[in-house]
Amino acid sequence: MHANRGYAIQVPKLTQICCAVTDLTVSAEWVFGRPLDCRFKGWGPAPFLFSVYLHPIDNRLKMILDPLTTCIERLQARIKTHGTSLSQNETRTRMALIDPLLRVLGWDVSDLDCVTPEYQINKKYVDYALLGPRGKPAAILEAKKLGDPLSNDHREQMLTCAMMEGIAYAGLSNGDQWELYSVFEQKPLPDKIILDVSIGSDPVHQSALRLLCLWCPNIRSGQVVRAKDPDPKPPPDPPNGPEWISLGNFPSPTGQPCPASLRLWDGSVRSLNYWKEILFEIVGQLYADRLLSEADLPLQSTTKSRRFLVNAEPIHRNGSPFTSPMQLRGTPLYVEGHHSSASILKIARSLLDRFEKDPNRDAHLSTP
């Protein structure tokens, strides 16, 4: 292939997001190794099609993103399950929440050539010094126990320590909230921040993008590139295209024909023949995005329902079989499709809410 010829290529979803939401003049070089010409088709976490000048891609970035999202999901589960215990002790928070995330970002906390624990600055000790290529701290990080608020006093102390040692970046974390500041920028404190994320409440992919500020090659470069959040606005519909109505605002379906199509948060459009297929498509996408897993089964139709919507076998709580089961292809999931059209919309909205999707933004139905 010619190095100066444009080619249309597909790259992994998270790499697409990173390229799409960072500043192209900087991050294109960071991600691909040289500037590129991009045209985007899609929005938010939807797949993007790039038309680029081909150049060897930095495989380190592609290799970090999948482990990073998996780690964030695991930490979210720990916070949910063991939050009470972790909030009692800083050491527990560090071992269970902070150290694992630092490791996946390239900071091996057991390697003294990579991280110095309890690094002394004057008469104070900071919890982590993240070392640069010559063994000098490129950033420092102070840990708090889960639930402890990150106060301005904490921030000022960290910045003061970093300034005394000439360290460019300083951060704080309580295992859930992560902050990183550019120490020597001549700006007020709120404008120095380059990372502000809550892994317990922010969407996983958004957290992964933001946490790339702490990725070892990024910190060691001395010029941290900050990823911007995806644009949540969908592109306008093409002329003469279908009229889309959000799932949250879709009118009463009683006596109405099934919508022609369902558009989901990844930008895909699914053709519909029956109302129940709305549930099948939403459950399938949640599973594909690893928001729904076998650990969530059995899943009730609504939080107060005695009937199951999704199960690993087509059987309800009382032992009766699903009336209209559908096993989603390539998955172990069975979905109960026996519901009225009105119930299907209610269940679909509840399902999206349960997995932190917005029925008014993340799912749309086309009018017949």
* Interval 178-234: pLDDT, tens: 999 999 988 888 889 999 999 988 888 888 989 999 999 889 888 887 665 554 444
Residue range 252-276: mean pLDDT, rounded: 88
Number of domains composing the chain? 3
> Residue 268 has what pLDDT?
87
User: Domain containing 325: what range?
Assistant: 244-366
Q: What contacts 95, CB < 8 A, 6 or more positions away?
A: none
Whether residues 82 and 174 share a domain: the answer is: yes
Sheet holding 124-131, edge to edge: 115-121, 124-131, 137-143, 169-173, 177-182, 193-198
Whole-model pTM?
Answer: 0.52
- Mutual angle of helices 13-21 and 24-32, in 10-degree steps: 150
pLDDT at 36 over 60: no
Pair 180, 255 in one domain = no
Is 318 in the same domain as 339?
Answer: yes
Q: Identify whether 230 is part of a domain.
A: no
pLDDT tens digits, one per residue of 110-160: 999 999 999 999 889 999 999 998 889 999 999 999 999 999 999 999 999
Mark whether 73 and 38 lie in a shared domain: no
**What Å distances lie between residue 365 and 129, 231, 263, 361, CA to CA?**
51, 21, 6, 11
Query: Can you count the helices (H) and strands (E) in the chain?
Result: 11, 16
CATH code of 153's domain: 3.90.1570.30
Is residue 123 located within the same domain as residue 146?
yes
Report yes or no on 103 lying in a domain. Answer: yes
